[in-house]
Amino acid sequence: MSADLNRKKVTKNAFRITKRRNHTALRVRVPGGHITAEQIAMIADIARRFGDGNMHITTRQGFEIPNIPFEKMAEVNAALNPLIEELQVANGVSFAASNSGYPAAGMRNISACIGNRVCPFANTDTTAFAQKLEGQLFPHDFHVKIAVTGCPNDCIKAHMQDFGIIAICEPQYDYDACIGCEACEKVCKRKVTGALSMKNGKVIRDARRCIGCGECVLACPTGAWTRNPQKFYRLLIMGRTGKRNPRIAMPFLNWVTEEVVIQVIRNTIPYIDRYILRCLPKEHIGYIVDRTGYDVYRREVLENVKLNPEAKIARTMQWPGYDTLNDANMRSADYWKG
């Protein structure tokens, strides 16, 4: 790394410090994972002109362009400007596009499954929701990971995010249209939670066991089950990988609206700002919640949030995971040989 290079400024500008001396890698945001062929061509052109022609597709659905010389960063930012206008400003991001590149890199690219534009299982347009979140949240400098998935199948791995947003549906039942074929009851029993049962040739739905997946809607041959036009979501929080205590995210809110999800995540930004350890280059939000306690987090992020009548909130929170220092269950190879 060059001695006169401001590392903090470079990383804030969405460039990565890499192992190759005097070279960097550019992170390109693709909100919701949706990109046109023309936009990919723009990224490829930057990779050819300023890098070595290679691109890396990240796990968060963005791109990294490696092996860019430090002295080319200003030119890269200028070349990036049209792409920023198309992928950021067009999605409602509030900063004015300029030749200075990205203004922040703390919040990772908001990822999304393909959603109901294509997938019959999806309960919402996940790309549109991710892009809306991008416009509401970016830019800021905190390390936050968000993913939107269209149904409880969770193809985007929402359970491994700081915020995992699962689109769910409230299935609506037309008693007269039901022919008692049991197709919905069977699919729910075999694939989901067994929330449906039959009584006198008709279906009974146990609302407590229903996870809002919509499988009954797809299985019904007569259209007796339909999705409520009102969109609902389950918000999971504080899942993570990493070196210390990897764990899956757990449900914080259930049957909430899009507006509630957005406001809660927006309220989390000042919460992070209040409690983050500034002695660290970055701190994952899950560790902040561990330190302040769930009750403090819940109180502060729900402040002034108008919850819809259907909403449910977790009373307590326990995250299943493992501590890398806890080796009580591990035995040496010699133990098993003996």
Q: CATH number for the domain including 35?
A: 3.90.480.20
Domain assignment present for 162 = yes
Domain assignment present for 178 = yes
Domain assignment present for 106 = no
Q: CATH number for the domain including 257?
A: 3.30.413.10
Same domain? For 237 and 139 the reply is yes
| Residue 162 to residue 284: CA distance in whole angstroms | 8
Range of the domain at 185: 171-227
How high is the pLDDT of residue 97?
60
Same domain? For 161 and 205 the reply is no
Model confidence, pTM: 0.93
Amino acid residing at 100: S
Q: Which among 239, 34, 259 has a CA at the least distance from the CA of 133?
A: 259
* 144 and 276 Cβ atoms separated by less than 8 Å: no
Same domain? For 85 and 128 the reply is no
Same domain? For 17 and 73 the reply is yes
Give residue-wise pLDDT tens across range 46-58: 999 999 999 999 9
Same domain? For 52 and 190 the reply is no
Give residue-wise pLDDT tens across range 250-282: 999 999 999 999 999 999 999 999 999 999 888
For every residue of the chain, which 3-state class applies, written as one string? Answer: CCCCCCHHHHHHCCEEECCCCCEEEEEECCHHHCCCHHHHHHHHHHHHHHCCCCCEECCCCCEEEEEEEHHHHHHHHHHHHHHHHHHCHHHCCCCCCCCCCCCCCCCCCCEECCHHHCCCCCCCCHHHHHHHHHHHHCCCCCCCCEEEECCCCCCCCHHHCCEEEEEECCEEECHHHCCCCCHHHHHHHHHCCCCEEEECCEEEECCCCCCCCCHHHHHCCCCCEEECCCCEEEEEECCECCCCCCECCEEEEEEECHHHHHHHHHHHHHHHHHHCCCCCCCCCHHHHHHHHCHHHHHHHHCCCCCCCCCCEECCCCCCCECCCCCCCCCCCHHHHHC
Q: Which among 216, 41, 47, 195 has a CA at the least distance from the CA of 121?
A: 216
Same domain? For 307 and 251 the reply is yes
How high is the pLDDT of residue 1?
47
Bridge partners (DSSP) of residue 70 are: none
Same domain? For 200 and 162 the reply is no
Q: How many domains does the chain have?
A: 3
Domain assignment present for 274 = yes
Domain assignment present for 105 = no
Same domain? For 122 and 202 the reply is no
How high is the pLDDT of residue 282?
84
Same domain? For 77 and 130 the reply is no
Same domain? For 158 and 238 the reply is yes
Per-residue pLDDT of the chain (338 residues; tens, 9 = 90+): 454 667 777 888 889 889 999 999 999 999 999 999 999 999 999 999 999 999 999 999 999 999 999 999 999 999 999 999 998 887 888 776 678 899 888 789 999 999 999 999 999 999 999 999 999 999 988 999 999 999 999 999 999 999 999 999 999 999 999 999 999 999 999 999 999 999 999 999 999 999 999 999 999 999 999 999 999 999 999 999 988 889 999 999 999 999 999 999 999 999 999 999 999 888 899 999 999 999 999 999 999 999 999 999 999 999 988 876 666 777 788 878 76
Same domain? For 221 and 236 the reply is no
How high is the pLDDT of residue 2?
52
CB atoms within 10 A of CB 53: 10
